[in-house]
Chains A and B, each alone.
Chain A
Amino acid sequence: MRALMTTLILAATLCLAGADWTQFRGADTSGVAPDQNLPIEIGPSIAWTTELPGRGLSGPIVVGNRVYLTASSGYAQDRLHVLCFDTDSGKPLWERQFWATGRTMCHPKMSNATPTPASDGERIFAFYSSNDLICLDLDGNLQWFRGLNHDYQNASNSLGMSSSPIVVGDTLIVQVENDSQSLAFGIDVATGENRWKHDRPVMVNWTSPILLRGKSRSDDLAVLQSGKGLVAVQPRTGAEVWRYDEPCDTIPSAAVTDGVLYAPSKGLTALQPDAQGGSPKVLWQESRLKPITPTAIAYDARVYSIASSGVLHCADTANGKGLWQMRLMVEIGDKPSRGMFSATPVAAGGHLYIVNEDGVLMVVKAGGEKGEIVAHHEFGETILASPAIANGALYLRSDQHLWKIARR
């Protein structure tokens, strides 16, 4: 009985306090955090603001009491920065710089520091549009360095690359896909050496790998998305487990929760992977749920996607039936906010946190019979990076600043 009570108390504490946010869309790539205590009113909850060098569209990650971030600077965006801050104070703890070894050209809206870094809890894996991959320990000591465009000289995209690597077990999954030389890698986190390298569809692709949880950690799979479909692979060997051969979008990635994938295919397609390794079962398809740039998010039996013009759709995860839709718009001064969104939403504590490109963060009540923006805050800077939620706080970055938002 005492053990049960202890477990329950621990679980409740974890839910209140939250957990680390170790990669794009969090440790399980769902975009959902267990935190129950995030603030609703943003302005009064800004715990600290710190200045950043250069530019960056990568999201922050959080490991313990440190937040890690990447940036790139210089006329050619060829100076790569890895930054570490104290989560309590926002004080910079260390910064390391590197020289890009790959092509740095990208669309003016992007920057070299577009992919979100990842961590296995012991190491930081910083990845850039130039396909430079840097592994540091948590104190900034270099463990290894890879130049994937240096190694594979046509593995680049003149518009820039954005796929964020993820850690599955002790393998880092990296997608480098474009019109010329498309590759996916399983990289040994300890040495930086290739465990496997796959040729991938030769076409542009800005999506990120997805973590599909198995019954145990050793059953976890990595799902690779491209314009040709989805492929689930064993992280250590790269062996294919199943595939879905219908075209998928090449900007938003698939959402995942409770073992179901919500792929941006034919609008949005819910897929139930077959535990035996067969093709995944199509649960439903709904064309009206097609996400444009941000990845959809599944949260508390609802799936949300942002369509063109900034319309947020909410549907039932069971059948894809639309429940409500609303325009993500608030009054800024005497003008309506614009409907341009790049950052993928995140969710916790019964709310979605959605930021538009003009830096207006909207807090949307999740669920319900109609959409409701319960609070918003204007940061006044362009924001294209997805936020992080960790240990009771929300972290958000622009080119110039990193903010921590938490209840006081």
Chain B
Amino acid sequence: MLLRFTLRAGCGVALLLAVSAMLSGAELSETLKTIKSVGPEGKGNAQAAAAWKQLAAGRASSIPTILAALDDANPLAANYLRNAIETIAQRELQQEGKLPAAELEAFLKETRHEPRARRLAFDLLARADKTAPDRLIPGMLNDSSVELRRDAVQRLIAQGDKQFAQQKPDDAKATFAAALAGARDDDQVQIIKKRLEGLGEKVDLPRHFGFLMTWQLVAPFDNTEKKGLNTVYPPEQGIDLNAEYEGKEGMKIRWSPHTTDNEYGIVDVAKALSSFKGAVSYATTEFVSDKEQPVELRLGTPNSWKVWLNGELLFSREEYHRGMSLDQYKMRGTLHPGRNVILVKVCQNEQKEEWAQRWQFQLRVCDAAGTAVLSADRAGK
């Protein structure tokens, strides 16, 4: 009985493999399309699961095609595709002991492909060709893949440290400067900054990350019982920097300029204005773009908040005092040529604990890889 089942199951797998291996280009395309149709709340899961079985039973030669499908896959579908690729790769390595290294390297080098797909191609390539990391990573300092770039930066940090230990400070300085130009992750930036400052160089972190430093602020509007986040106060209806508003408890309040000197661009509303409790603040600034371009606005704050770009609400979140970090929230938007208006609403609640007193935010503009996008009128070089 068991033998019969095993034979039947074995035949089934073999048949499936054979069928999949014979998938025509059109069938493969249809399979990928089914998986890419998967949507929120489990919509399309059943169809995607059936398509996944066909896809994952394929041969290694199908991997580049599946990788390319990641270019326009939604985040849910991307994980189906990734898992199919890994399943194929594991089976091929076990059975054949090899992967299509040349095709993977070609895919990796084609920078129009989705960055994470290229990283996955690299990871597979590194399993098939042990020379790949040393051959390829040093040339990826400015790669669109943050992970590939990170590996390149790490090598430069090691190289700079070695040069410094060999008492070649000028070489080390140049190496660390190159590393900084490629670095996007804060832990690496911190290390490089420390090394460069030790060598007498200054590092402009606000510029490196693209923090917005100069703002107009107005507060307090009422946020008693946390009702302020979704109350529409006048700045949301139009920004007039000369206006006077009636604020919390009848206070007459006006916009006032503020430039932060914090190297991480943190605007401390409590210090800049006053440590009001149960209060809403607004901050606005202009950003000059020389072209229409997609960007990310990345916010960090321990307070509840909303962000608008040119009057369009990008996101709203209610959460108080659960921590603040660089790039805590990422929002996509499009800058228009010329002046763009950014409006940030930051709300403070009424908690009295010492750990619940922060009323602050940081905002930067960058591309998808975290590379700073600077306002055309930003001072300095």
- Across the interface, name the chain A residue whose C-beta is closest to B43: A193
- Across the interface, name the chain A residue whose C-beta is closest to B53: A141
Binds B, one of A59-67, A93-101, A320-328, A352-360: A93-101
A74-B147, A179-B318, A179-B322 are contacts. A101–B76 as well, Cβ < 8 Å? Answer: yes
Residue among A105, A132, A145, A194 facing the most chain B CB atoms (10 A cut-off): A145
A75-B150, A101-B76, A150-B75 are contacts. A158–B328 as well, Cβ < 8 Å? Answer: yes
Determine if A191 is an interface residue (Cβ-Cβ < 8 Å): yes
For B187, list chain A residues within 8 Å (CB): 75
A residues 196-239 touching B (CB-CB < 8 Å): 202, 204
When chains A and B are docked, how far (Å) is the Cα of A107 from the Cα of B328? 12
For B41, list chain A residues within 8 Å (CB): 151, 193-194
Determine if A178 is an interface residue (Cβ-Cβ < 8 Å): yes
Tell me the minimal C-beta distance from A217 to chain B in angstroms. Answer: 25
Do the beta carbons of A159 and B49 come within 8 Å of each other? no
For A187, list chain B residues within 8 Å (CB): 42
A101-B75, A144-B49, A158-B328 are contacts. A179–B83 as well, Cβ < 8 Å? Answer: no
When chains A and B are docked, how far (Å) is the Cα of A143 from the Cα of B52? 8
Do the beta carbons of A158 and B323 come within 8 Å of each other? yes
B residues 37-93 touching A (CB-CB < 8 Å): 38, 40-43, 45-46, 48-49, 52-53, 56, 75-76, 78-80, 82-84, 86-87, 90
Contact among A105, A142, A154 with B49 in the assembled complex (CB-CB below 8 Å): A142
When chains A and B are docked, how far (Å) is the Cα of A91 from the Cα of B245? 68
Determine if B143 is an interface residue (Cβ-Cβ < 8 Å): no
When chains A and B are docked, how far (Å) is the Cα of A99 from the Cα of B79? 6
For A193, list chain B residues within 8 Å (CB): 41-43, 45
Contact among B49, B87, B329 with A140 in the assembled complex (CB-CB below 8 Å): B87
Tell me the minimal C-beta distance from A391 to chain B in angstroms. Answer: 23
How many residues of A are in contact with the other chain, CB < 8 A? 39
Determine if A50 is an interface residue (Cβ-Cβ < 8 Å): no
Contact among B46, B75, B84, B323 with A142 in the assembled complex (CB-CB below 8 Å): B84
Do the beta carbons of B87 and A141 come within 8 Å of each other? yes
Determine if A157 is an interface residue (Cβ-Cβ < 8 Å): yes
A75-B185, A99-B75, A145-B76 are contacts. A150–B83 as well, Cβ < 8 Å? Answer: no
A140-B87, A145-B79, A147-B75 are contacts. A154–B45 as well, Cβ < 8 Å? Answer: no
A residues 163-203 touching B (CB-CB < 8 Å): 178-180, 187-188, 191-194, 202
Determine if B320 is an interface residue (Cβ-Cβ < 8 Å): yes
Do the beta carbons of B56 and A178 come within 8 Å of each other? no
B residues 76-129 touching A (CB-CB < 8 Å): 76, 78-80, 82-84, 86-87, 90, 116
Do the beta carbons of B322 and A204 come within 8 Å of each other? yes
Determine if B29 is an interface residue (Cβ-Cβ < 8 Å): no
For A150, list chain B residues within 8 Å (CB): 40, 75-76
Residue among B49, B302, B325 facing the most chain A CB atoms (10 A cut-off): B49
Tell me the minimal C-beta distance from A7 to chain B in angstroms. Answer: 25
Number of A-B residue pairs having CB atoms within 8 Å of each other in the complex: 103
Do the beta carbons of A101 and B79 come within 8 Å of each other? yes
When chains A and B are docked, how far (Å) is the Cα of A154 from the Cα of B52? 30
When chains A and B are docked, how far (Å) is the Cα of A94 from the Cα of B45? 23
Determine if A146 is an interface residue (Cβ-Cβ < 8 Å): yes
For B134, list chain A residues within 8 Å (CB): none
Do the beta carbons of B49 and A143 come within 8 Å of each other? yes
For A99, list chain B residues within 8 Å (CB): 75, 78-79, 82, 116
Do the beta carbons of A194 and B84 come within 8 Å of each other? no
Do the beta carbons of A141 and B325 come within 8 Å of each other? no
Determine if B317 is an interface residue (Cβ-Cβ < 8 Å): yes
Do the beta carbons of A178 and B86 come within 8 Å of each other? no
When chains A and B are docked, how far (Å) is the Cα of A335 from the Cα of B87? 49
Determine if B244 is an interface residue (Cβ-Cβ < 8 Å): no
Do the beta carbons of B79 and A107 come within 8 Å of each other? no
When chains A and B are docked, how far (Å) is the Cα of A75 from the Cα of B154? 12
Determine if B319 is an interface residue (Cβ-Cβ < 8 Å): yes
- Across the interface, name the chain B residue whose C-beta is closest to A143: B49
When chains A and B are docked, how far (Å) is the Cα of A193 from the Cα of B79? 17
Do the beta carbons of B45 and A144 come within 8 Å of each other? yes
When chains A and B are docked, how far (Å) is the Cα of A151 from the Cα of B48? 17
Do the beta carbons of A98 and B76 come within 8 Å of each other? no
Contact among A105, A140, A145, A204 with B80 in the assembled complex (CB-CB below 8 Å): A145
Tell me the minimal C-beta distance from A239 to chain B in angstroms. Answer: 20
- Across the interface, name the chain A residue whose C-beta is closest to B187: A75
A178-B319, A179-B320, A194-B42 are contacts. A105–B79 as well, Cβ < 8 Å? Answer: no
For A191, list chain B residues within 8 Å (CB): 42, 45-46, 49
For B82, list chain A residues within 8 Å (CB): 97-99
Do the beta carbons of A180 and B319 come within 8 Å of each other? yes
Contact among B45, B146, B147, B325 with A105 in the assembled complex (CB-CB below 8 Å): B325
When chains A and B are docked, how far (Å) is the Cα of A96 from the Cα of B86? 7
- Please list the residues of chain A having a beta carbon within 8 angstroms of any beta carbon in chain B: 74-75, 94, 96-99, 101, 103, 105, 107, 132, 134, 140-147, 150-151, 153-154, 157-159, 178-180, 187-188, 191-194, 202, 204
A-B contact pairs, 20 of them (CB 8 A): A74-B147, A98-B79, A99-B79, A99-B82, A99-B116, A101-B76, A105-B325, A142-B83, A142-B87, A145-B45, A146-B45, A147-B76, A158-B322, A158-B324, A158-B325, A179-B320, A180-B317, A192-B45, A193-B41, A194-B41
Q: 9 additional contacts, CB 8 Å, given A142-B56, A158-B319, A158-B322?
A: A97-B86, A103-B329, A105-B325, A142-B52, A142-B80, A157-B319, A180-B319, A188-B42, A194-B41
